[in-house]
Amino acid sequence: MNRKHKNTPGPWLVCFFVPTASIPGHLIKADDSAKTPIGEVFGEVWSGCGSSRQIANAKLMAASPELLEACESALTFIQMGYITKPDKNDPALQVVKTIKTAIKKATK
């Protein structure tokens, strides 16, 4: 990962359902030995920590460093001219804006 960002470097992992946490949930950590989690996903009261939505949220959070790196790589690839003169209605024209928005959200 490009170290121009202040986030904890990846990869991150999910420790699924940690009952000993302050509030039982899923922990996102930089590595399995880390004492302090990067983030936590708590279970919904009505569905518990095992709900598919909570597990999916934890997995998405853990993938954040790789997703940021992929966005930055894709933006570089596009800006180097690998998408050339798309038709004005081509959805590829929106890709750069979408990627830049995602990178900004993750880093600013």
**Do residues 52 and 83 share a domain?**
no
The reply to whether 58 and 77 lie within a common domain is no
Question: Do residues 55 and 68 touch, judged by C-beta distance below 8 A?
Answer: no
pTM (global) more than 0.75: no
Q: Could you give the maximum distance between any two Cα atoms of the chain, in Å?
A: 55
Q: Tens digit of pLDDT per residue, the chain (108 long)? A: 445 778 888 889 988 876 666 666 788 898 877 778 888 887 665 455 567 888 888 899 999 999 998 998 888 887 887 766 667 777 766 787 888 888 888 877
**What is the structure's pLDDT at 31?**
81
The per-residue DSSP string of 45-88 comes to TTTBTT-HHHHHHHHHHHTHHHHHHHHHHHHHHIIIIIS-S--T
Q: In this structure, are 100 and 76 located in the same domain?
A: yes
The number of distinct structural domains making up the chain is: 2
